[in-house]
């Protein structure tokens, strides 16, 4: 099986010579189709930079990113916009729903951006809305929705064009624990039932325990990797292991390393 | 450090926000232009000729100044608002770092003052230059050398400009900075979308649109039928209906826009997003948009009316005669004063006076003034003296019936109506008329015995082809009866002004051969001495100086006279007073309205920067966003401008029915055409404004495309 996403010694430096910050300093990993991959790290470790590089929102300083065998650094203009819109689905920490558009209009926004006729996606909209339980808020504006509903509408928007990979940037960051759990279960369900590939950046260990594999990043490099041993390992046990690594990553790392 | 910050910030403001800075400059120009009005060449000239009227107009300047102050306050307020809004985050940071609010206030005040002083330093010389240019151009336009130019910088005007500008700027600043400094640091630091709006039932909005449209329709109908001019009450009602209707219409507009977002061709890129954005802007600022639309309407009406009126007064025909001296060839009351309808001709011609043309000549000669004239001739005008029956002294049934058989047209109906009253026309002697033609450099008129030429003043003849129509009738030499005697009317229609005074006009007169004139008037006629100045002998900087000089000399003779200059002055006054002020106001209104709309759009675009960023994340390309923002700008400007343009069709027409003199009303289609042209020209101005805002929006979006480092 070919990997859907390949990252090869990816580097991103900010600033000039003396005060250069190495946000990413040579990161290499692959994502296989149908994988649910988590990326964890403390604040400033470079995880959002990594996600932004993959989303082609920022240009890396070195290395390659290949999506389905195609290098995305070489994409320009319309191709790039097409890549961002159709091949990846992006889930934001703050939902980034447009507050003057209704739920339905928000979900259909990618279609409108890429000039795709609405009729084609009507069925998919219904499926997604029913799976994510947002049918009743389709006609409402974001101000009239709860946080969980907003994020689920945002998820529907990220999925409407059936992207090859979903990039989720701290999707539970702005949610309470109950809504966070509900969202993660929906994402897990998507992953298991439809083989959706998900790459999620988080520093919520609870959310991370839904993943199959977790990469830990510190100071721009991959510092550790965890794999959940299915079916032998329960989510609870996996969570315990994550916490241990996080303890090392945090203030404790100096003592351990 | 404090002053360095102030100077850097103020410099940055100027560089980053051209719109803001240019609106400051425009305000300065506007203030100076209205204040320096009394220094304009045309006004200097007029104050000599029509001092009463000019003084009245100049007395109005403080009122105009106050009005400009209020209108420009809005301009500066909105421009400054935009300026401060975009720096909210910066202010939040200052406060977070521990700057006290008073110090922040002092810093902003210092920046503001610095900016104002720099604007004044740049703006005042520019304003003086522009005033000079306007002065020169109007002088050239109105009289080609009639008015001598002189340098006209006015220190008073400059001072008052500075005072007014600083005052308005300070007032706007105090209000805005008060608003900003009351806000919490937290809300300054985050880009807050404005709070959720209360939504009413859609029917309320739908009803508002309908009622608004109905009010507008009623107001337009009242305006165009002329009802509105019947009295203050009716005028007030029309105005209130119009204003109320506009506000209501804009308030309700969210419904149609929402429907357009929902029902329109949603497969077009970002269609829904665009309409939701426009809808949001319209919802938030329906009042401001309605005001802008009304301002634009006012601008269009002012402009259209101003240009048309000035065109009417400016079209004074050819300039042949320079002076006319009043006198009577005959003794006694038989000397008929010309122009019973408009008694201006009788002015200076006291009924008991006994001056003869010869006596006038003699007086002129005595004062050594005869040499100044290249031509002095008598103009003899009288009434039919052979018939007592003024209702039937003249009959031209065959001409009338020929006219009746012509194709129906406005000109024909007007001629038929006017000519049906010409039963007792003036008669003019051919000899004196030929002298006039000679002075005008035209061919002499030849009349056979028993023939009469038809005279009609240009003001009547030029309306809707009346001259040509009557000319066609006269080609057949129709028969007519004059005091019981038969005579033949011949063409072409004569239209050269008989005397200098342009307020004397004859609707219809007959030019008779000398013999016939004598027998017809029985020797009782009015007489005028027309003079043409010999321009070659006198060297003067301008025609105005020549006339002023001559007038002084003539005043010493005690002779009553009418000079071309006085007429010119009267006409000029109407022209300048109406056109200068209306056009000035139109430009100010237009600038203010457009700036407010533009600034509001840019503010709201910056406030929705987050949405644009989300769109970029979702894969929007720059070209797509640019197109979407441009579409929004078109709509945002287009809605109020379109409303205003539509309203101006009625507004300009209403102004014509209401305030134009009767003579000009007859040329309504022509006037409307001029107004339409002006409206078109204003559309071009609108286009320029839209383009500027689009550029600004493009720059903003391009800056958004570069991602920020968010960690």
pLDDT of res. B304? 74
Q: Is the distance from CB of A40 to CB of A203 less than 8 angstroms?
A: yes
- Residue B253 above 90 pLDDT? no
Contacts with B, A 64-103, CB within 8 Å: 77-78, 80-86, 90, 92, 96-101
Residue B416: pLDDT band by 50, 70, 90 thresholds? confident
Locate B431 and state its tokens: 């000899």
Residue-wise pLDDT tens digits, B583-641? 777 888 888 888 888 888 888 888 788 888 888 878 788 888 888 899 899 988 988 88
Residue that the structure tokens 């006729």 belong to: A117
Residues of B in contact with A86 (CB under 8 A): 619
Cα B406 to the chain's mean position, in Å? 38
pLDDT of res. B404? 82
Nearest CA-CA distance, residue A2 and chain B, Å: 26
Least reliable range by pLDDT among A73-77, A83-87, A188-192, B193-197: B193-197
pLDDT of res. B464? 64
- Residue B659 above 80 pLDDT? no
Which is nearest to A197 in space by CA: A185, A183, A211? Answer: A211
CB atoms inside a 10 Å sphere around CB B283: 18
pLDDT of res. A4? 92
d(CA A200, CA A214): 9
Across the interface, do A105 and B261 touch by the CB < 8 Å criterion? yes
Residue-wise pLDDT tens digits, A227-254? 998 788 899 999 999 998 888 775 544 5
Number of alpha helices (DSSP H) and beta strands (DSSP E) in chain B: 28, 10
Which is nearest to B435 in space by CA: B444, B448, B427, B426? Answer: B444
pLDDT of res. B479? 81
Q: What mean pLDDT is predicted for residues B77-87?
A: 79
d(CA A4, CA A10): 16
User: Is the CB of A120 inside 8 Å of chain B's CB atoms?
Assistant: no
Q: Which of B199, B283, B618 would you mutate first to test chain A, the one with the most A CBs within 10 A?
A: B618
Q: What angle do CA B595, B600, B605 make, to 5 degrees?
A: 130
Q: What is residue B634's three-state secondary structure?
A: helix
Locate B344 and state its tokens: 């201006």
d(CA A156, CA A162): 10
Counting every residue, how long is chain A? Answer: 257
Residue-wise pLDDT tens digits, B536-583? 655 555 666 677 777 777 777 777 777 776 766 666 676 667 777 777
Across the interface, do B624 and A82 touch by the CB < 8 Å criterion? no
Sheet holding B479-482, edge to edge: B394-395, B479-482, B485-494, B451-455, B509-512, B426-429, B373-383, B525-533, B323-327, B561-563
Residue-wise pLDDT tens digits, A206-219? 999 999 999 998 88
Across the interface, do A84 and B610 touch by the CB < 8 Å criterion? no
Across the interface, do A96 and B707 touch by the CB < 8 Å criterion? no
pLDDT of res. A33? 92
Dihedral sign from CA coordinates of B565, B566, B571, B575: positive
Residue B37: pLDDT band by 50, 70, 90 thresholds? confident
Q: Is the distance from CB of B530 to CB of B133 less than 8 angstroms?
A: no
Q: Which residues pair with A22 in a beta bridge?
A: A13
Q: Which of A56, A112, A165 would you mutate first to test chain B, the one with the most B CBs within 10 A?
A: A112
Counting every residue, how long is chain B? Answer: 711
Q: What mean pLDDT is predicted for residues B214-228?
A: 81
A44: nearest CA partner in chain B: B711
Q: Name the DSSP class of B255.
A: H
**Beta-strand relationship, A165-169 and A88-91:** parallel
Across the interface, do B619 and A109 touch by the CB < 8 Å criterion? no
For the purposes of burial, counting CB atoms within 10 Å of the CB of A195, is it exposed (0-12), middle (13-18) or buried (19 or more)?
Answer: exposed
Which residue among A77, A105, A110 places its CB closest to the CB of B618? A110
CB atoms inside a 10 Å sphere around CB B129: 12
Residue-wise pLDDT tens digits, B275-287? 888 888 887 778 8
Residue-wise pLDDT tens digits, B467-512? 777 888 888 788 887 777 788 888 788 877 777 766 667 778 888 8
Locate B135 and state its tokens: 């002065």
- Residue B329 above 50 pLDDT? no
| Phi, psi angles (nearest 5°) of residue A116 | -105, 140
Across the interface, do A57 and B709 touch by the CB < 8 Å criterion? no
Q: What mean pLDDT is predicted for residues B52-74?
A: 80
Which residue among B277, B280, B709 places its CB closest to the CB of A14? B709
**Beta-strand relationship, A165-169 and A221-227:** unpaired
- Residue B711 above 50 pLDDT? no
Which residue among B276, B279, B707 places its CB closest to the CB of A58? B707
Q: What is residue A64's three-state secondary structure?
A: strand
User: Is the CB of A114 inside 8 Å of chain B's CB atoms?
Assistant: yes
- Residue A5 above 90 pLDDT? yes
Q: Which ranges constitute the DSSP H helices of B144-184?
A: 155-181
Q: How far is CA B294 from CA B238, B243, B594, in A?
A: 14, 7, 12
d(CA B670, CA B464): 9
| pTM over cut 0.90 | no
Residue A131: pLDDT band by 50, 70, 90 thresholds? very high
Averaged pLDDT score across all residues of chain B: 76
Predicted complex ipTM: 0.77
- Helices B514-521 and B430-439, packing angle to 10 deg: 130
For residue A164, the surrounding DSSP H or E stretch is none
Across the interface, do A115 and B269 touch by the CB < 8 Å criterion? yes
For the purposes of burial, counting CB atoms within 10 Å of the CB of A62, is it exposed (0-12), middle (13-18) or buried (19 or more)?
Answer: middle
Across the interface, do A90 and B616 touch by the CB < 8 Å criterion? no
pLDDT of res. B244? 92
Q: Is the distance from CB of B705 to CB of B616 less than 8 angstroms?
A: yes
Least reliable range by pLDDT among A19-28, B138-147, B625-634: B138-147
B272: nearest CA partner in chain A: A105
Across the interface, do A113 and B269 touch by the CB < 8 Å criterion? yes
Interface of B with A (CB under 8 A): 193, 196, 261, 266-273, 276-277, 279-280, 608, 610-611, 613-621, 623-624, 707, 709-711
Q: Is the distance from CB of A136 to CB of A152 less than 8 angstroms?
A: no
With a pLDDT cut of 90, the percent of chain B lying above it is 2
- Residue B465 above 80 pLDDT? no
Least reliable range by pLDDT among A240-249, B349-358, B392-401, B693-702: B349-358
Which is nearest to B501 in space by CA: B544, B560, B557? Answer: B560
Locate A11 and state its tokens: 């580097």
- Residue A39 above 90 pLDDT? yes
**Beta-strand relationship, B373-383 and B451-455:** unpaired
């Amino acid at each position: 099986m070919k990997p859907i996403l390949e990252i090869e010694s990816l580097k991103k430096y900010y600033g000039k010579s003396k005060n250069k910050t190495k946000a990413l300093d040579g990161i290499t990993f692959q994502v296989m189709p149908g994988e649910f991959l988590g990326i964890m790290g403390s604040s400033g470790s470079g995880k959002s930079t990594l996600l932004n590089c993959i989303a082609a929102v920022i240009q890396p300083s070195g290395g390659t990113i290949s999506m389905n065998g195609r290098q995305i650094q070489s994409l320009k203009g319309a191709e790039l916009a097409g890549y961002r819109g159709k091949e990846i689905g992006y889930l934001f920490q703050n939902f980034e729903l447009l507050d003057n558009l209704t739920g339905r209009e928000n979900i259909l926004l990618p279609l409108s951006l890429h000039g795709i006729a609405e009729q084609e996606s009507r069925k998919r909209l219904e499926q997604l809305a029913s799976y994510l339980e947002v049918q009743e808020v389709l006609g409402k504006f974001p101000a009239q929705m709860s946080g969980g509903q907003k994020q689920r509408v945002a998820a529907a928007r990220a999925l409407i064009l059936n992207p090859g990979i979903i990039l989720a940037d701290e999707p539970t960051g702005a949610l309470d624990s109950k809504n966070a759990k509900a969202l993660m279960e929906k994402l897990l369900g998507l992953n298991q039932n439809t083989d959706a590939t998900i790459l999620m950046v988080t520093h919520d260990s609870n959310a991370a325990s839904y993943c199959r594999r977790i990469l830990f990043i510190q100071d721009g490099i991959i510092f550790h990797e965890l794999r959940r041993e299915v079916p032998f390992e329960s989510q609870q046990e996996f969570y315990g292991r994550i916490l241990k690594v996080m303890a090392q990553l945090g203030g404790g790392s100096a003592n351990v390393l | 450090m404090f002053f360095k910050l102030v100077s850097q910030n103020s410099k940055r403001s100027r560089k980053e926000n051209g719109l803001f800075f240019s609106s400051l400059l425009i305000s300065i120009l506007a203030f100076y232009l209205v204040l320096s009005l009394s220094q304009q060449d045309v006004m200097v000239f007029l104050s000599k000729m029509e001092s009463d009227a000019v003084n009245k107009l100049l007395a109005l300047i403080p009122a105009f100044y106050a009005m400009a102050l209020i209108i420009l306050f809005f301009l500066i307020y909105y421009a400054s608002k935009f300026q401060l809004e975009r720096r909210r985050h910066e202010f939040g940071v200052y406060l977070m770092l521990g700057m006290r609010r008073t110090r922040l206030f002092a810093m902003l005040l210092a920046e503001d003052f610095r900016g104002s002083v720099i604007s004044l330093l740049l703006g005042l010389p520019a304003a003086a230059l522009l005033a000079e240019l306007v002065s020169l151009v109007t002088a050239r336009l109105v009289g080609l050398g009639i008015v001598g130019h002189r340098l006209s910088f006015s220190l008073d005007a400059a001072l008052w400009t500075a005072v007014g500008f600083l005052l308005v700027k300070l007032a706007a600043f105090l209000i805005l900075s008060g608003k900003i400094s009351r806000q919490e640091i937290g809300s300054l630091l985050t880009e807050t979308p404005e709070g959720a709006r209360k939504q009413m039932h859609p029917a309320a909005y739908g009803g508002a649109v309908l009622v608004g449209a109905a009010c507008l329709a009623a107001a337009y109908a009242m305006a165009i039928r002329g009802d509105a001019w019947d009295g203050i009450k009716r005028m007030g009602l029309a105005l209130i209906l119009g204003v109320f209707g506009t506000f209501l219409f804009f308030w309700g507009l969210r419904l149609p826009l929402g429907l357009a977002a929902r029902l329109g061709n949603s497969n077009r890129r970002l269609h829904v997003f665009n309409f939701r954005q426009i809808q949001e802007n319209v919802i938030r600022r329906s009042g401001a948009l309605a005001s802008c639309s009304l301002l634009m309407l006012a601008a269009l009406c002012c402009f259209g009316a101003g240009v048309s009126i000035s065109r009417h007064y400016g079209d004074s025909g050819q300039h042949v005669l320079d002076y006319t001296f009043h006198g009577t060839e005959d003794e006694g009351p038989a000397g008929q004063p010309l122009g019973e309808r408009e008694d201006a001709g009788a002015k200076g011609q006291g009924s008991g006076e006994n001056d003869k043309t010869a006596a006038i000549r003699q007086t002129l000669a005595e004062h050594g003034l005869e040499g100044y004239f290249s031509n002095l001739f008598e103009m003899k005008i009288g009434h039919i003296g052979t018939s007592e029956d003024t209702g039937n002294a003249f009959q031209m049934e065959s001409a009338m019936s020929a006219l009746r058989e012509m194709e129906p047209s406005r000109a024909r109906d007007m001629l038929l109506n006017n000519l049906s009253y010409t039963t007792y026309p003036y008669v003019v002697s051919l000899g004196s008329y030929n002298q006039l033609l000679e002075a005008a450099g035209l061919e002499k008129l030849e009349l056979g015995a028993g023939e009469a030429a038809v005279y009609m003043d240009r003001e009547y003849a030029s309306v809707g082809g009346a001259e040509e129509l009557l000319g066609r009738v006269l080609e057949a030499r129709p028969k007519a009866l004059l005091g019981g005697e038969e005579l033949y009317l011949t063409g072409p229609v004569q239209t050269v002004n008989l005397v200098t005074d342009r307020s004397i006009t004859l609707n219809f007169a007959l030019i008779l051969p000398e013999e016939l004139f004598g027998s017809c008037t029985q020797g009782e006629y009015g007489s005028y001495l027309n003079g043409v100045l010999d321009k070659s002998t006198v060297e003067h900087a301008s025609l105005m100086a020549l006339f002023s000089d001559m007038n002084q000399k003539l005043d010493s003779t005690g002779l009553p006279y009418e000079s071309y200059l006085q007429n010119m002055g009267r006409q000029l006054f109407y022209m300048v007073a109406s056109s200068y002020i209306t056009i000035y106001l139109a430009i100010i209104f237009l600038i203010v309205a457009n700036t407010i709309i533009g600034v509001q759009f840019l503010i709201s675009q910056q406030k929705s920067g987050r949405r644009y960023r989300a769109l970029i994340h979702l894969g929007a390309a720059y070209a797509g966003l640019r197109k979407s923002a441009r579409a929004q700008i078109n709509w945002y400007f287009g809605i109020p401008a379109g409303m205003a343009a539509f309203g101006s069709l009625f507004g300009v027409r209403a102004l014509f029915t209401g305030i134009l003199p009767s003579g000009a009303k007859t040329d309504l289609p022509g006037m409307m055409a001029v107004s339409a042209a002006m409206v078109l020209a204003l559309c071009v101005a609108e286009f320029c404004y839209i383009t500027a805002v689009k550029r600004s929006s493009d720059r903003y979006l391009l800056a958004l495309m570069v991602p920020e480092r968010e960690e």
